[in-house]
Amino acid sequence: MKLKLEYILGGFGIGCLLFALIFSGASSNEKALVLPGSGGIFSPITVKKNNTVYGITINNDVPLNAWSNISVDVLDNQKQLLFNFSDGMWHESGYDSDGRWTESKNQFTMDITFQKAGQYYLRVSAERNDGVGQNIQISVARKSGSHIPFLILGIISLVCAAILFYLYRAADPKTGEPLIPKQSLKRSVVFTIIGVLALFFIIALFASTRGYGYMGYYGYHHGPSFFYWGGPRIYNSRSYRGGSIGGFRHRGGGFGGGK
């Protein structure tokens, strides 16, 4: 069979990234609620199966030269705190050597894996410098699972494919001979490689459907997943949050960009 390892790995990596894209999307209609600028309680999220992933999106428009910090407490059916996450919104403008600039942020999203079926609540609160402020919009959508396992597997596969692609075509600077002789893989080797990749695919699929890599996967009292990448700050309790919030109340303090 005239197949090369770099092409097999490259195709597998692209396929994994496509599955990561599928798992990153919502699989149910969003449930939305508008809360006052000071916050409120989001009505129960009914989780029907263990290890179900939900995407929680917070939107809050703030006026020019204003900021808000939106905090979300995830509560169990007894209204007991499981964990908390928060992020800042801002809207600023100014002038520099390039002229006038304007920057703003009005939305953030957190993906959560609910380990156990049941009812959960979201308690939203806000700290801001614009008084009561604009209404806070919150939406919750069930997702197919976690995209992180397929994302990691896809990136690793593509990196390996790129390295092999280079090595098979690179030449020894002294002799001019290829570093690795070009040769097609035998049929038995191809089937073995495909079998190994299929095994990795099954493992990634299992991990994705269980919400691996999102907040809550390792238990609500053991902190965020090692693989969580994103903007919102995550806390196991409000005591941790209290010592941090003062440092990002304005763009210069930490949660904004700027020129």
Domain range summary for the chain, segments of one domain joined by +: 5-21+148-209, 27-143
What confidence score (pLDDT) does residue 124 get? 93
Paired strand residues for 54:
112, 142
**E strands, the chain, where?**
31-35, 39-47, 52-59, 66-75, 81-96, 99-105, 107-114, 118-128, 136-143, 233-235
The 10s digit of each residue's pLDDT in 156-179 is 999 999 988 887 777 777 776 766
What confidence score (pLDDT) does residue 253 get? 40
Maximum Cα–Cα distance across the chain: 74
What confidence score (pLDDT) does residue 157 get? 94
Pick from 212, 236, 213: nearest CA to 226: 213
| 28 vs 148, more confident | 148
What confidence score (pLDDT) does residue 219 get? 53
The 10s digit of each residue's pLDDT in 123-136 is 999 888 877 778 99
Asked whether the predicted pLDDT for residue 242 surpasses 50, the reply is: no
- The CA-atom distances, in angstroms, between 225 and each of 73, 117, 146, 222 are 17, 20, 12, 9
Paired strand residues for 45:
120
| H-type alpha helices, the chain | 5-23, 148-169, 187-209, 238-242
CATH code: domain 27-143 is 2.60.120.380
Say what the pTM is.
0.72
